[in-house]
């Protein structure tokens, strides 16, 4: 089993660092601090001293690309899907989650993680504000409409989804339960079916953010354990990456021109720094898909 050790890179001291995103066109790394309502853009050549930060009125929880647009990023707000200008800090809301069966749930949840599939559909997961009640679910924005895509599955905190390189398998975390689930995925229809357990983290580890490499292995942030764990498509551990000083590791993301640098966000809590870490790995990550308006 391969073992890596990440190095501390950006002294962000994020209250809740999440959503690492690398843009190759200008060699820029983005991430968010949900707790402090910040979005950072860091040119790799300059590092932290060259960063551009926008402070928002409300938190953004997730960033992704938008097809054909270099001026905006896809951004998840508390209950919405929006376009963010990362230079000006302006948000243009394009869709909103609505619990039609029980409107009171709109006050009990927020957006958390998400992902874009190979056809440009925007998937997102909600989580309970108290992180205890199982009221979070999966949603999908397609053709301008937000659909409940949960098929009845609920969690206090959802993370993911990500997809296998062949787009046939989708992975989603139930973070408080320590479980990562997989689904059969039909990329043409956008349907996720046959939910089943993929792995459960050992020793009380809580799976947070996910990333996928070109070999189809899943890199899982083991929040509360200060490491990233790489699982084969069959669920075997094939590598680990220790993140010294970041017990509360939150999300991995691939970047660099060859996609062999893994960037890792963290949370400033329980003795954890909240800084951003990085490590060179042997297998490249897959490229992130872009949302299609």
By annotation, the residues acting in catalysis are 208
CB 238 within 8 A of CB 230: yes
Distance CA 33, CA 282 (A): 28
Measured torsion, CA atoms of residues 106, 293, 73, 215, in degrees rounded to the nearest 10: 100
- Angle (CA) 162-156-224 rounded to 5° is 75
Distance CA 95, CA 175 (A): 26
Q: With residue 161 as reference, give the H or E element that holds it.
A: strand 158-163
90-96/7-10 β-pairing = unpaired
């Amino acid at each position: 089993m391969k073992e890596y050790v990440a190095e501390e890179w950006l002294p962000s001291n994020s209250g809740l660092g999440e959503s690492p995103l690398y843009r190759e066109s200008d060699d820029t790394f983005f991430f968010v601090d949900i707790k402090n309502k910040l979005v950072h853009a860091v040119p790799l050549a300059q590092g932290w001293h060259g960063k551009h930060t926008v402070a928002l009125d409300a938190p953004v929880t997730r960033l992704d690309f938008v097809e054909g647009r270099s001026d905006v990023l896809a951004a998840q707000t508390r209950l919405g899907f929006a376009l963010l200008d990362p230079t000006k800090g302006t948000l243009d809301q394009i869709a909103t989650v609505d619990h039609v069966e029980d409107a009171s749930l709109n006050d009990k949840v927020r957006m958390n993680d998400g992902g874009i599939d190979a056809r440009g559909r925007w998937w997102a997961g909600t989580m309970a504000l108290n992180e205890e009640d199982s009221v979070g679910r999966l949603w999908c924005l397609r053709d301008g409409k937000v659909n409940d895509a949960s098929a009845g599955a609920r969690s206090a905190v959802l993370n993911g989804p990500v997809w296998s390189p062949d787009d046939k398998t989708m992975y989603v975390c139930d973070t408080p339960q320590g479980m990562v689930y997989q689904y059969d995925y039909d990329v043409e229809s956008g349907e996720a079916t046959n939910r089943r357990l993929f792995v459960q983290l050992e020793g009380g580890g809580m799976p947070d953010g996910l990333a996928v490499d070109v070999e189809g292995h899943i890199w899982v942030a083991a929040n509360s354990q200060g490491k990233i764990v790489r699982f084969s498509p069959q669920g075997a551990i094939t590598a680990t990456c220790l993140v010294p000083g970041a017990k509360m590791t939150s999300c991995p993301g691939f970047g660099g021109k060859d996609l062999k640098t893994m960037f890792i966000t963290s949370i400033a809590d329980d003795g954890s720094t909240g800084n951003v870490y990085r490590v060179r790995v042997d297998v490249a990550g897959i490229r992130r898909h872009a949302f299609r308006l």
